[in-house]
Amino acid sequence: MTEPRVILITGASSGIGKATALKLKAQGNIVYGAARRVEKMTDLAAAGVHVLKLDVTDEQTLVVAVATIKAEQQRLDVLINNAGYGSYGALEDVPLAEGEYQFKVNVFGVMRLTQLVLPMMRAQGAGRIINVSSIGGKIYQPLSAWYMGTKHAIEGMSDALRMELAPLGIDVIMIEPGGIKTEWAGIAEQKLLAVSGETAYGKQAKEVGAMLSLFDQFASQPGVIAKLMVRAVNDDRPKTRYHAGMGAGVSLAARKWLSDRQFDYLMNQAVHGAAKLAKVMHKKTQRAGSRHYRRES
């Protein structure tokens, strides 16, 4: 029997992180699920996952988490940097402090935790770091400069890190989700409309917000990405990148083959189309509600 791997995954309190932690634990691995909201991880603890309180912007919690794993297991085989969030809004409208915090969570927190686990992995002569990027690390949308900037940064830094760690036996892999049904889209839409909904960018903000809201209806389930995570952990010769989820393949292909102007046009058409579809769906919901009311009255 293969010896179980020791795995640390951040952002494990919901969505992709929680689904991945449960799948990896079910395979017999020693899994540490880390997040700020430990009260949302009681089901993980019940399944045998070690629960850690961790905030990727809080140095002390990062240090304590890594020290705990070292003391209890004497090794760490896989780090999955999954924690992150999306902050949308026109660059002109988003306060600089919010942009900085977006980078602190999505980039600096990822790289600081990586720094802390590398001595352990170097001593082992082996390890695997899996960074959750996004198709947003390859494409772009209007009103997403800060978020897309963090994901482009993760892509570039992970590529550089992969090359510098390869001689040490440590691999770096990226996961690039498309549209996934998690809390992410709702948070991004809420921030977008709060920041830019009533500004000079209001019309565009409402259309982009409508596109984000459609994720609730059409996005892929978190388990789709959890399966990719498991593959990235288990594959003997892992790919450098894995992608899946609503729109991932089409978006990445379009970005690869279209010119910048062509892709701009395609993305604008997608935003306009999503806004129109959202209106149609809203009207249908209202009509259905009216019919239901009449039947019950």
Catalytic residue IDs: 147
Which tokens in the block code for residue 144?
């997403």
Q: Looking only at Cα atoms, what is the longest distance across the chain?
A: 72
Alpha carbon 124 to chain centroid, angstroms: 28
Residue 274 in tokens: 């999503």
CB atoms within 10 A of CB 48: 13
Q: Cβ atoms within 10 A of the Cβ of 144, count?
A: 22
Residues 15-33, buried b or exposed e (16+ Cβ, 10 A)? bbbbbbbbbbbeeebbbbb
Question: Could you tell me which residues are beta bridge partners of residue 31?
Answer: 7
Q: What is the dihedral of CA 172, 178, 179, 185, to 10 degrees?
A: 50
H or E stretch covering 297: none
Residue 37: φ, ψ to 5°: -95, 80
**Rounded to whole angstroms, how far apart are CA atoms 11 and 20?**
10
Q: Residue 79 half-sphere exposure, CB side, CA atoms within 13 Å?
A: 29
